[in-house]
Amino acid sequence: MLSKFNNNFIYLTLEDFCENCPIKIKHVRSNIKFWNKWFGINEFDIEFLKETFADYNNKIYICCDSNKDIQSVAIYNNYQDLFYNLILLAKKHNSNYKWLGKKILRELNKKLINNTNNIRFIVLTDVSDIPNYYKRLGFSLTNNKYLRKLLDNFEDDLYVIEIESENFI
């Protein structure tokens, strides 16, 4: 198991969380009712959740407490070997833990540093209603036209952070 303990949390890939069992992995990815409740009813659009969890190119990184209860998730993909696209970062709706986004991003950064594809950046599209949330996590707002064109998004705020940079939380 490739888990990492930090601050009483366990950080796992979805595959490790499901003990590399394809049936469990499929169940976790397809149980949208569970995720909708876990995030908070209708906190995210159901179609967005279905598409995000159904796409096996999207990697799911999980933060669990010591009881192996999921407390936060980061879902990302490798975008054409240019950057990592952070699609979703969220904690459990009724979690009492603080700064889970910061903690899971820190661990994800450590995991991505070790990848051999030389990708140096994480990019995300901000559709949240939390002002400056990603700036507080070390991301920089960008208006890079190339990124906007690649992501086909000319409306939402785009944020970027360099992997392993000193700005990284």
What are the structural domains of the chain?
A: 4-162 (3.40.630.30)
pLDDT tens, residue by residue, 18-61:
999 999 999 999 999 999 999 999 999 999 999 999 999 999 99
Which residues in 14-101 belong to E strands, given as ranges?
59-64, 70-79, 83-91
- Greatest mean pLDDT range, 5-14, 57-66, 103-112: 57-66
Sign of CA dihedral 41, 93, 75, 148: positive
Q: Are 73 and 61 in contact (CB under 8 A)?
A: yes
pLDDT tens, residue by residue, 62-83:
999 988 899 999 999 999 999 9
